[in-house]
């Protein structure tokens, strides 16, 4: 019997070996040929073509088109998106609502509310609530905390974070009016991330209230976010007209908390207790050179410790550019150590851009301070004294310095700008900039020109399409493709969202495979917000000679989201950031093209100057 089975098994094996192999799953959704006209129209910001595709017979095409319109964010698409709210397929209605949330005006919101009353699908009904809440928050339409707290209590996930973020951003008058409601919500809240956002909002209630609670949370809060939020709220508290200062967090185990503690103490001026700072110095993590240098800078302000701290800082003299920048900032507390001439030489030298930026910041502060000193000269004469400094910066050819100065002058009067930023200086500055790589500096100067010349604020001109997607390379890129970022603090693994952010994911992949990110620094860290890197200059003002289109997917900015930095819509290129916490105010404004899947503990430890030793694909 056993042997009789052999012929049958042999035939079965042959049959199996000759059977057609099962088709493999495509690497990403762009293998669907029907989606390419949508992507093409999205890349070229062609609203008319997208509205036509929104009437396609395929529900897949209609839903993908609605999502594309979320990236384009053109108000002329409102009529076709409103029409899509009556689509027979719920996914199309949900995605159309997602897009409308970013662009609806008051009348559209009213119509959406009417449609919502007629909607019977619970998933779509939740999408209405989400889109309406997001839209009202983006346009600052909430005048009462109660509906926002209601949204917080009735929802989950990012909707709760969005509500908590809206609460903390409400005007102080609303907090004063409804503070009992918020305190009650805070008492009942168990999610540490939501608690941190609500605690941050307590900053609106100035004065002496909540101090004991905030001190306890700043020292012993169970997460860094809670400790940071409590510290920031304490920064707005006064007792007997003196700011509340807390020195213990200088020795917190988390670098983000130490950074906020330094920032808070640096802002209290003559109320700083130098002996309390000195007592904390031995307890600050020896590996955190930025915090130690910053603390020495605080002590330099004290006459009792000035000499010793000056000598200690001189002895350190770091060469790493970001430490050198902080060292320069610390020493500048004593203007006998670093003169204005020295700062100007550094600012216009060949030093690292991060160092030049700090030299500019310190020098411009001294120039402004000198101009405010009471002297027997007219305001016009004071301006003319300042003008040579401004002219040198604008004509330096340094896009970062030009951007920083233009940001400072945004609120200057037309009369002042005619002296500080005359036409001849404007022309020389513009001639030194690259039309795409230096878009941020160009846009900022255009704002100054409009203000100087009494023109209405000019909307930034549309960025010309300049970086087409390589179709063959995109079709080979896996959805969820992973990358390893190796740093001295450990490794971070991120995965990219090729399906919803194809152009951004492909550009990142290209830069990684070229080795572009190897050796690049994280030049920016905002505690409890983001860490950012990948700038070719190293100071945040650099970019590539091409730009990407802003791509908005459905995944929100939660803790560990990876986004592209930008200077406005469609200006993204190589700089990326990783979020520390949920940041719902970024949803719909920035491209979120990936997420951290491993190594968030490393992300929390990153500080300014940490280097991406190697960034590589995980295959």
Confidence of residue 490 (pLDDT cuts 50, 70, 90): very high
Q: What pLDDT does 310 receive? A: 87
List residues bridging with 524 in a β-sheet. 532
Q: Is residue 486 part of a domain?
A: yes
Within 10 Å of residue 268's Cβ, how many Cβ atoms? Answer: 15
**Residue 559: which CATH number?**
2.40.100.10
More confident residue, 458 or 254: 254
Q: What pLDDT does 19 receive? A: 57
Contact 230, 263 (CB under 8 A): no
Confidence of residue 381 (pLDDT cuts 50, 70, 90): confident
* Alpha-carbon gap, residue 131 to 112, rounded angstroms: 9
Q: Is residue 235 part of a domain?
A: no
Residues whose CB falls within 8 Å of the CB of residue 55, separated by 6 or more in sequence, listed in order: 62, 80
Q: What pLDDT does 10 receive? A: 40
Tokens (6 digits) for 104? 């609806």
Sign of CA dihedral 590, 596, 600, 602: negative
Q: Which of 85, 111, 138 is the last residue of a domain?
A: 138
Do 522 and 579 lie in one domain? The reply is: yes
What pLDDT digit, counting tens, does each position of 287-342 carry?
Answer: 999 999 999 999 998 878 888 888 889 888 999 999 999 999 999 888 888 999 99
Q: Which of 138, 157, 174 is the last residue of a domain?
A: 138
Q: What pLDDT does 341 receive? A: 94
Q: Which of 432, 459, 486 is the last residue of a domain?
A: 459
Within 10 Å of residue 193's Cβ, how many Cβ atoms? Answer: 18
Confidence of residue 208 (pLDDT cuts 50, 70, 90): confident
Q: Is residue 220 part of a domain?
A: no
Tokens 């036409």 belong to residue? 423
Do 483 and 450 lie in one domain? The reply is: no
Tokens (6 digits) for 382? 């004071």
Q: Is residue 327 part of a domain?
A: no
Q: Is residue 503 part of a domain?
A: yes
Contact 511, 574 (CB under 8 A): yes
Sign of CA dihedral 239, 255, 535, 322: positive
End-to-end CA distance of the chain: 49
Confidence of residue 9 (pLDDT cuts 50, 70, 90): very low
Mean pLDDT across the stretch 497-524? 99
Number of structural domains the chain divides into: 3
Do 419 and 533 lie in one domain? The reply is: no
- Rounded to a whole number of angstroms, the CA Rg of the chain reads 28
Tokens 């293998």 belong to residue? 31
Looking at the predicted structure, is the pLDDT value of residue 45 above 90?
Answer: yes
**Residue 129: which CATH number?**
1.25.10.10
Q: Which one, of 313, 251, 241, 240, lies nearest residue 279 by Cα?
A: 251
Q: Is residue 181 part of a domain?
A: no
Do 505 and 377 lie in one domain? The reply is: no
Going from the C-alpha of 563 to that of each of 363, 468, 574, the distances in angstroms are: 33, 20, 10
Q: Is residue 325 part of a domain?
A: no
Do 403 and 485 lie in one domain? The reply is: no
Looking at the predicted structure, is the pLDDT value of residue 16 above 70?
Answer: no
3-state secondary structure of 298: helix
Confidence of residue 7 (pLDDT cuts 50, 70, 90): very low
Residues whose CB falls within 8 Å of the CB of residue 268, separated by 6 or more in sequence, listed in order: 243, 245
Supply the pTM of this predicted model.
Answer: 0.94
80: containing domain: 29-138
Do 412 and 446 lie in one domain? The reply is: yes
What pLDDT digit, counting tens, does each position of 558-613 carry?
Answer: 999 999 999 999 999 999 999 999 999 999 999 999 999 999 999 999 999 999 99
* Alpha-carbon gap, residue 128 to 98, rounded angstroms: 8
Do 447 and 489 lie in one domain? The reply is: no
Crossing angle (nearest 10°) for helices 353-372 and 399-408: 30
Within 10 Å of residue 408's Cβ, how many Cβ atoms? Answer: 18
Q: What pLDDT does 44 receive? A: 98
Local structure of residue 611 (DSSP, 8 states): B
Nearest 10 degrees: Cα torsion 28, 34, 40, 43: -50
Mean pLDDT across the stretch 165-177? 91
Residues whose CB falls within 8 Å of the CB of residue 535, separated by 6 or more in sequence, listed in order: 520, 521, 523, 541, 542, 543, 574, 575
Burial of 435 (0-12, 13-18, 19+ CB in 10 A): exposed
Sign of CA dihedral 423, 429, 432, 437: negative
Do 520 and 587 lie in one domain? The reply is: yes
* Alpha-carbon gap, residue 522 to 534, rounded angstroms: 7
Q: What pLDDT does 305 receive? A: 82
Do 572 and 526 lie in one domain? The reply is: yes
Q: List the single range of 365-369, 485-489, 527-531 with lowest mean pLDDT.
A: 365-369
Do 436 and 516 lie in one domain? The reply is: no
Do 454 and 475 lie in one domain? The reply is: no
DSSP 552-606: --SS---TTEEEE--SSTT-B-S-EEEESS--GGGTTTS-EEEEEEE-HHHHHH-
Q: Is residue 61 part of a domain?
A: yes
| H helix intervals, 73-156 | 78-84, 90-103, 106-118, 122-138, 145-154
Do 506 and 380 lie in one domain? The reply is: no
Q: Which one, of 580, 596, 562, 575, lies nearest residue 491 by Cα?
A: 596
| H helix intervals, 498-548 | 502-513
Residues whose CB falls within 8 Å of the CB of residue 260, separated by 6 or more in sequence, listed in order: 228, 231, 232, 249, 527, 528
Contact 73, 101 (CB under 8 A): no
Tokens 């900053």 belong to residue? 203
Confidence of residue 21 (pLDDT cuts 50, 70, 90): low
What pLDDT digit, counting tens, does each position of 73-126 carry?
Answer: 999 999 999 999 999 999 999 999 999 999 999 999 999 999 999 999 999 999
3-state secondary structure of 548: strand
Percent of the chain with pLDDT strictly greater than 90:
83
Q: What are phi and psi of 243, to 5 degrees?
A: -65, 150
């Amino acid at each position: 019997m056993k042997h009789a089975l052999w012929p049958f098994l042999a035939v079965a094996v042959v049959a199996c070996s000759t059977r057609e192999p099962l088709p493999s799953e495509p690497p990403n959704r762009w293998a669907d040929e029907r989606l390419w006209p949508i992507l093409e129209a999205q890349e070229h910001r062609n609203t008319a073509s997208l509205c036509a595709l929104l009437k396609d017979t395929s529900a897949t095409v209609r839903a993908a088109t609605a999502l594309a319109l979320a990236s384009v964010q053109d108000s002329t698409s409102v009529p076709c998106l409103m029409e899509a709210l009556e689509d027979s397929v719920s996914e199309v209605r949900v995605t159309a609502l997602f897009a409308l949330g970013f662009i609806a005006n008051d009348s559209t919101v009213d119509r959406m509310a009417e449609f919502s009353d007629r909607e019977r699908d619970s998933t779509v009904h939740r999408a209405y609530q989400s889109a309406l809440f997001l839209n009202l928050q983006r346009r600052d339409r909430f005048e009462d905390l109660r509906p926002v707290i209601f949204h917080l209590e009735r929802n989950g996930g990012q909707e709760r974070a969005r509500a908590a973020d809206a609460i903390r951003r409400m005007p102080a008058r609303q907090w004063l009016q409804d503070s009992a409601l918020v305190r009650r919500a805070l008492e009942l809240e168990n999610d540490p991330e939501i608690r941190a956002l609500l605690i941050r909002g307590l900053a609106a209630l100035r004065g002496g209230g909540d101090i004991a609670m905030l001190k306890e949370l700043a020292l012993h809060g169970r997460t860094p976010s809670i400790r940071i939020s409590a510290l920031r709220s304490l920064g707005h508290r006064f007792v007997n007209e003196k700011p509340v200062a807390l020195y213990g967090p200088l020795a917190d185990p988390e670098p983000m908390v130490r950074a906020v503690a330094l920032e808070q103490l640096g802002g209290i001026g003559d109320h700083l207790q130098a002996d309390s700072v000195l007592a904390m110095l031995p307890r600050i993590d020896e590996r955190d050179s930025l915090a130690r240098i910053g603390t020495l800078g605080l002590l330099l302000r004290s006459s009792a410790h000035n000499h010793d701290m000056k000598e200690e800082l001189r002895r350190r003299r770091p060469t790493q550019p970001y430490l050198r920048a902080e060292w320069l900032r610390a020493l500048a507390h004593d203007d006998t150590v670093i003169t204005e001439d020295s700062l100007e030489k550094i600012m216009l030298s060949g030093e690292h851009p991060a160092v030049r930026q700090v030299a500019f910041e310190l020098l411009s502060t001294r120039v402004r301070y000198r101009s405010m000193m009471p002297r027997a000269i007219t305001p016009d004469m004071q301006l003319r004294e300042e003008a040579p400094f401004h002219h040198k910066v604008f004509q330096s050819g340094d896009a970062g310095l030009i951007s920083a100065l233009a940001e400072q002058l945004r609120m200057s009067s037309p009369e002042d700008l005619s002296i500080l930023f005359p036409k001849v200086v404007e022309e020389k500055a513009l001639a030194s900039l690259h039309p795409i790589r230096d878009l941020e500096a160009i846009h900022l100067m255009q704002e100054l020109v409009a203000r100087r010349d009494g023109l209405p604020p000019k909307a930034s001109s549309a960025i010309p399409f300049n970086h087409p997607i390589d179709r063959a390379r995109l079709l080979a890129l896996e959805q969820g493709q992973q990358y390893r970022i190796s740093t001295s603090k450990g490794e971070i693994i991120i995965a990219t969202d090729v399906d919803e952010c194809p152009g951004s994911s492909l550009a990142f992949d290209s830069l990684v495979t070229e080795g572009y990110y190897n050796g690049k620094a994280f030049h920016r860290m905002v505690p409890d917000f983001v860490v950012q890197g990948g700038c070719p200059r190293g100071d945040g003002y650099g970019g590539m000679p091409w730009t990407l289109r802003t791509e908005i997917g459905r995944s929100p900015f939660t803790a560990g989201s990876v986004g592209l930095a930008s200077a406005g819509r469609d200006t993204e290129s190589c700089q990326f950031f990783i979020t520390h916490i949920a940041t719902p105010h970024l949803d719909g404004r920035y491209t979120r093209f990936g997420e951290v899947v491993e190594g968030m503990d490393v992300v929390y430890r990153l500080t300014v100057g940490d280097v991406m030793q190697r960034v590589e694909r995980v295959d």
